[in-house]
Amino acid sequence: MEDAEKLFEFGLECVEKENFDEAFEHFSKTADMGFIQGVFCVG
């Protein structure tokens, strides 16, 4: 679970840098895709 958390945090950093392709690549490796889709919809 910790690995997914690290990937998620790295993904968030990519989003902050507006590197959405890389962010999505990292997010896709995490379990909580529903939350990710929510982030992209809101953001």
Mean pLDDT of 3-32: 71
pTM: predicted TM-score of the whole model, two decimal places: 0.38
Distance between CA 39 and CA 15 in Å, rounded? Answer: 10
- For residue 19, the model assigns a pLDDT of 72
Domain count, the chain: 1
Crossing angle of the two packed helices 20-27 and 2-16, in degrees rounded to 10? 170
* Per-residue pLDDT at 12 exceeds 60: yes
Beta-carbon contacts of 18 under 8 Å, excluding residues fewer than 6 positions away, are none
Q: What is the pLDDT of residue 18?
A: 78
Q: Per-residue pLDDT averaged across 27-38, rounded?
A: 63
More confident call, 33 vs 9: 9
Domain of residue 34 covers 2-42
